[in-house]
Amino acid sequence: MEDSKGRVAHVTRLMQRQLMNIDLFQYDQELRKKTGKNLEQLAWERSGLPRPLGDLQGERMAVIPVTAGHGLISGFSDTVSLVLRHLGLRSDVTCNHDIAGIGEAAANGATVLFCADDRLFLALDLRGGKYIDNARATAEMFMLAVEKMAGGLKGKKILIIGLGKVGVSCLNFALAKNESVHIHDIRPERSLEASQINNGVVVAGTLEKACREAEIVIDASSGEGFIPATWLRDDVIIGAPGIPLGLTNDAYHQFKDRLIHDPLPLGVAGMAAIILGTRNG
């Protein structure tokens, strides 16, 4: 997989400790408090279907452990399957890895496969012949959650930090709801390119000034601890699909009630919602 400059793009590699700390029931409570909806409800809304994903008959998810590249991340496949079951879907992790795992899933009647290597995490629809990239799904679900939390995006001062695959998808979502969006990337050429091909995109001057002015900050970067609390408005809404978190520790504790951030659930839920919504809609 290559980015817009022809460079090989890599999937963010999660740590086992990040996966072990996921409590989906507690996560649902926090998400509902912030957005008014839990994970299943947000996925249902994104799918556009008349009924929840778990009510779909004949759907079976299979998660395939992949050993290519840097190898398996302990707990990753089990956590993906756990999120899918939390949505009410049938889901299993195959006993076999790689190609043998795909064969096992197909033999067991799977309709959608979830698998990831170092370059791509996708959901593959065996019935519809299409796939969805986790980067797009993550971006759209985070932006949907932020939109709910902010009471809408229209007319808001939005800043997107980081213009990788997730950041660009966040930008596309934001531009569909708002007339202008400010952007910042550590590589100036990415910001320039985005501003040239999209109307309404404003390249931020300094990151500090842009953060201070933004009502909504989307941290889609891979940087860690570079946004201090003093750069943020008291009423800011923050969406952070990037791993690790760009907020400093102090900023996190000050703004955690105004923050949407997780290592996996929203993205996985979005993958299922988009795949199943496209085919069953």
Tens digit of each residue's pLDDT (9 = 90 or more) over 196-250: 999 999 999 999 999 999 999 999 999 999 999 999 999 999 999 988 999 999 9
In a domain, 95, yes or no: yes
Asked if residue 256 and residue 273 are part of one domain, the reply reads no
Neighbouring C-alpha atoms within 13 Å toward the C-beta of 81: 17
- Assign residue 160 the CATH number of its domain: 3.40.50.720
Helix/strand/coil for 130: strand
Asked whether residue 257 carries a pLDDT value surpassing 50, the answer given is yes
- Assign residue 57 the CATH number of its domain: 3.40.50.12150
Structure-token pair, residue 189: 């050429």
Contact 158, 181 (CB under 8 A): yes
Q: The tokens 């500090």 sit on which residue? A: 208
pTM: 0.92
Helix/strand/coil for 156: coil
Contact 48, 99 (CB under 8 A): no
Structure-token pair, residue 153: 């995006």
Neighbouring C-alpha atoms within 13 Å toward the C-beta of 43: 27
In a domain, 11, yes or no: no
Contact 42, 269 (CB under 8 A): yes
Q: Residue 155 sits in which domain range?
A: 137-260
Structure-token pair, residue 184: 């910042």
Q: Report the C-alpha dihedral over residues 149, 154, 157, 162, rounded to 10 degrees.
A: 70
Helix/strand/coil for 217: strand
Residue 197, amino acid: I
Among 6-10, 58-62, 144-148, the least confident range: 6-10
- What percent of the chain lies above the pLDDT cut of 70? 92
Any idea what DSSP says for residue 71? -
Asked if residue 66 and residue 46 are part of one domain, the reply reads yes
